[in-house]
Amino acid sequence: MNRRQFVHTGSGVVSGMLLLNTSTAFGYAANSAVRHGLLGCGNRGTSVADSFSQNTSAQVVALADLFPDKLAAGRDHFDKLNASLGRPPIDSRLLFHGPNAFEQLAASKDVDLIQISTPPFFHVQHLEAAVASGKHVYCEKPVGIDIRQARQALEIAKRVKPTQSVDVGFQCRSAPPIAAIAEKIKAGSLGKIAVVAGYYYAPASEEKKAIGSSPDEYRLRNWLWDRVLSGDILVEQNIHIIDLCNWLLGAHPVKATATGGRNILTHFGDCWDNYEVSFIYPGDVHLSFSSTQYGDYGVFDAGLRLFGASGTATVPYTGPIEIKGAQPWAWQDSANTASGSGKFAANGSFSDNLAFADRDKERTFIASILSGPAHNQIAEGVETALSCMLGRMAGYQRREVTWEDLLAHGETYELGFSLQQFA
């Protein structure tokens, strides 16, 4: 199967949702512009907002960021992008900076959709403000970096209105080849699944320098290095692979053991640079997950391999996506690519098997706003975040940790300084 064939299968019905021409119960005319406010003008935030602008009816009309220089760079970028798309520049009234920028953006009557692309520590706080304002929300993963935030997010989920859409940025599920093989796996093409191998091998993240910055500002700008701000690499980055495993198995892990540490990195920060986690899922299904995040020698590889009684499936970011065994199947467009040959994208905009992941995820989200039904993906996002926290706690405490242990522990992280210094 290739992409052209996939669009005509049941998995491709989302494309049809975009063709509706009737007015909707949400107060929009189908195909009308959704006014998009970006909260967090960094690398990933800008990339996602670009994709929304280029692939959907969403139009970036507002920006918010803690730092004035990031806001100014965002304005310059999106004014140029809007001009290329025949759209007006961003109104100065809709530029917000400082620690209260997220509240000002949420309060704006000129915004329909808020994209949350801030450091993970702030996701739930910003999600609460956006949901309370009645805005549609596209929130990057993870939905919470500790148990307290996870519980808060679940309470927020209960307050999402029936006509309000909230998506979590697990775009890998929307990549056409991954969505296609997922249908096969969930239909039982592998038989009983016993073992899964997962991996995420990435280069080190780059330092973000700011001349004359305070220690707190340096920490914020280099949040990927900071355990509290990011949740560590297992919760912040590796979460995509854990999410795919949860999705394909239809469950979350019930316990985990783990090792790892900070064996290579010497720069500022306290995130680990490697993990080896053994997750146990219901039915005694084992996921062996391995992760590294260091080095600058061009190594990047991420994906899953599932082993069942009657077949095995490979689901990589780059390389053949296929099933071997009693019910063989392959995504033809990936057949001639080499596993691990892809390049790491710091902004999350990957090519190869994920080339259309952001686009298709965003189109489905905008369709939910224009035509319904509305999405509420917060609980799913929390479940995957907790799954990663389970492995993280097992690694930190060097012991087996159960799902019940994790929830009972109630771990919480504190920022340790006030953002008001950046007012």
Beta-carbon contacts of 56 under 8 Å, excluding residues fewer than 6 positions away, are 34, 362, 363, 365, 366
Tens of pLDDT along 411-420?
Answer: 899 999 999 9
Instruction: Give CA–CA dist 342/333, Å, rounded.
Output: 15
Q: With a cut of 50, list the residues of the chain below it in pLDDT.
A: 3-25, 30, 348
Distance, in Å, from the CA atom of 184 to the CA atom of 327, rounded to the nearest integer, reads: 9
Instruction: Report d(CA 101, CA 116) in Å as an integer.
Output: 12
Residue 177: asked if its preceding bond is cis (omega within 30°), the reply is no
Q: Name the nearest CA neighbour of 135 among 21, 36, 276.
A: 36
SS3 334: helix
Mode of pairing for the β-strands spanning 329-330 and 322-325? antiparallel
For residues 114 and 112, give the distance between their C-alpha atoms in angstroms, rounded to a whole number: 7
Q: What is the rounded distance in angstroms from the CA atom of residue 365 to the CA atom of residue 169?
A: 10
pLDDT recorded at residue 258? 98
Question: pLDDT by residue (tens digit) across 260-313?
Answer: 999 999 999 999 999 999 999 999 999 999 999 999 887 899 999 999 999 999
Of 310, 264, 259, which is closest to residue 289 (Cα–Cα)? 259
Residue 1: what pLDDT? 55
The reported pTM is 0.91
For position 211, what pLDDT does the model report? Answer: 78
Residue 218: how many CB atoms within 10 A of its CB? 16
Q: Are strands 166-168 and 274-281 parallel, antiparallel or unpaired?
A: unpaired
Q: How far is CA 129 from the centre of its chain?
A: 19
Distance between CA 45 and CA 47 in Å, rounded? 5
Is residue 47 a contact partner of residue 349, using CB atoms and an 8 Å limit? yes
Which residues on adjacent β-strands are paired with residue 167? Answer: 138
Q: Which residues pair with 360 in a beta bridge?
A: none
Q: What is the pLDDT of residues 191-217, one digit of tens each?
A: 999 999 999 999 999 999 887 889 999
User: Which residues on adjacent β-strands are paired with residue 58?
Assistant: 34
Q: How many angstroms separate the CA atoms of 59 and 56, rounded?
A: 8
Quick one: which of 317, 414, 336, 386 has its CA closest to 150?
Answer: 386
pLDDT at 352: 86
DSSP string, 266-301: -SS----SEEEEEEEEGGGEEEEEEEEE--SS---E
- Long-range Cβ pairs for the range 75-80 (8 Å, 24+): 77/46, 78/38, 78/49, 78/53
Q: What is the pLDDT of residue 336?
A: 75
Digit-coded pLDDT (tens) for 234-250: 999 999 999 999 999 99
308 - beta bridge partners? 193
- The closest of 115, 177, 116, 143 to 357, measured between CA atoms, is 177
Quote the pLDDT of residue 341. Answer: 58
* Structure tokens that stand for 260 in this block: 């790892």
Question: CB neighbours (10 Å) of residue 200?
Answer: 23
The pLDDT value given to residue 351: 61
Q: What is the pLDDT of residue 339?
A: 67
User: What order do you get walking across the sheet with 136-139 strand by strand?
Assistant: 95-97, 58-65, 34-39, 113-116, 136-139, 166-168
| Cβ atoms of residues 261 and 189 within 8 Å | no
Task: Enumerate domains of the chain plus CATH numbers.
Answer: 7-172 (3.40.50.720), 173-355+377-409 (3.30.360.10)
